[in-house]
Structures are given as structure tokens and as C-alpha cells.
Amino acid sequence: EKSIFLLGKKNRIIKQIDYNSNSSSETDYNYSKDLLVNTISKSKNGKKIYKIEYNYDKNKNNIEYKQLENDTLVFLKTKVYDKNNNISEETYLHPNYKKNKSFHIFSYDFKNRIIKVQGFDENKQLTNHFLKINFNKKGFIVRTEIVYEKLIKSNLGYSVMEYDNLGNLTNNTSYSGDEKTAEAKYKNTYDKMGNIIIREMLINDKLREKTTYEIIYDK
């Protein structure tokens, strides 16, 4: 697979070209008042057009995210923000799979750097679990955990993340209780500007994916 990103004068992506062994596609990025308002993707054969639309509130918070296929809505995500511009509510809607509709409420513990995300089903009935997210002082996610209300402690699953000095992920380890179930390691090679030019992902110490970047800077 290969992708090319073209950037405009403000270093914003204006076009993306994706290639794989079977086909290629182009995506145009459109902005208004420095905010991304939509992306339009067309495959090489032109049979399908994918569009993503973004809407914002007066504080430039993204309140609506739409995915359309040939002008038909296939996914909708809406967000509500509190007075501090933190997400307070989030709704997912799949028009073709109404049972997959879900609703989430966010609560914040700033002192301990924890966010709790409580889920509800399509009938707004409370689910028996919630997502707990821990952050470090730099604002990076260092632990995620699905907490079940009535699950014994030994069966709890969680993931732990580690980062390098430039803030890029280097390790993501999953656990079930005290037992390690999977480990993803990331090896990053940087250029003189501090941008990644080679990124390798190893799953349980075996190379699974390698991505190389060629960055062309303005002289």
C-alpha cells in the first residue's frame, strides 16, 4: 500500500492519493475559516463516492460527523460539550443497523487524570460496563480499562501504553487480570526535523507491519 499527501500553504492536507494492489482512490480535503468541513473520496473506477462532513459549534468544537456513500448516510456521530469545551455526550447512529445505535456520557476526574465513559444501548438503557481512561501529566493516554460492574477482579482486562520523548507510542500491552495477553511494540526512526520516517510494529516480538515515510520539505 502507498499513500501520497499533498499539503497547502498552511501545512494542511489538501489531497490524498491512495494506491494498493487492486485499485487507487483520491480524496480532496475542503476547508472553511481554517476548519475542515468535508472530505470527498473517489475510487479509480468512479462507481462510488465517499464523503465525510464535519459541523462545528461557535467554539470550533466538532459537534457532528457524517459518513455518506453516494449521498446516502451510513454513519452519524454527534457530540455535546460542557462549558469547558470537554465532550459531555456522544451518540453513534448507524441508519442501516439501528440496533447498533449507542449513547455515551463522559465524566471527568481532573485531579486523578481519569475520564469515565458510560455507555447506553439503542433504548438508552444503561450497559453493565464503562470505559475508564487514565492520562499522564502530558495528556497522553497511559491506560484504558473496560470495567464491568459485576465482574470479579481477576478477570478484568486492560491495556497500558508507553511513549518516547517525542510523544509517539512505543508500547501497547494488553492484560487479562495479571496475565499479559498481547504486546505491540513500535520502533520509530526519525529525520533531523523530528518526524517519523520509519515505523515498525511488532506483535509479540514479531514484525507485523512496516511503514516508511518520504517527506519533501520546502527549501
Cβ-contact 82, 68 below 8 angstroms: no
Distance CA 91, CA 100 (A): 11
- The rounded distance, in Å, linking the Cα atoms of 77 and 55 is 11
Cell digits of residue 156? 478484568
Pick the closest to residue 70 from 92, 41, 90 (CA basis).
41
Of 65-79, 97-111, 122-136, which one has max mean pLDDT? 65-79
Give percent of the chain above pLDDT 70: 96
Question: Tell me, what's the pLDDT at 151?
Answer: 59
Query: DSSP letter string over 74-113?
Result: EEEEEEEE-TTS-EEEEEEE-TT-GGG-EEEEEEEETTTT
**Backbone φ and ψ of 37, nearest 5°:** -105, -30
- Is residue 171 a contact partner of residue 161, using CB atoms and an 8 Å limit? yes
Instruction: Kindly report the backbone phi and psi dihedral angles of residue 105, in degrees, each rounded to the nearest multiple of 5, phi listed first.
Output: -120, 130
- Quick: pLDDT tens for 32-71: 999 999 999 998 877 889 999 999 999 999 999 999 999 9
Residue 200: predicted pLDDT:
98
- Determine the pLDDT at residue 98: 72
Q: In the chain, how long is the greatest CA-to-CA distance?
A: 60
Q: Among 125, 64, 50, 133, which Cα is nearest to 92's? A: 64
Which candidate, 114, 119, 84, places its Cα nearest to that of 101? 119
- pTM here is 0.82
- The DSSP bridge partners found for residue 178 are none
Q: Does residue 46 or residue 21 have the better pLDDT?
A: 21
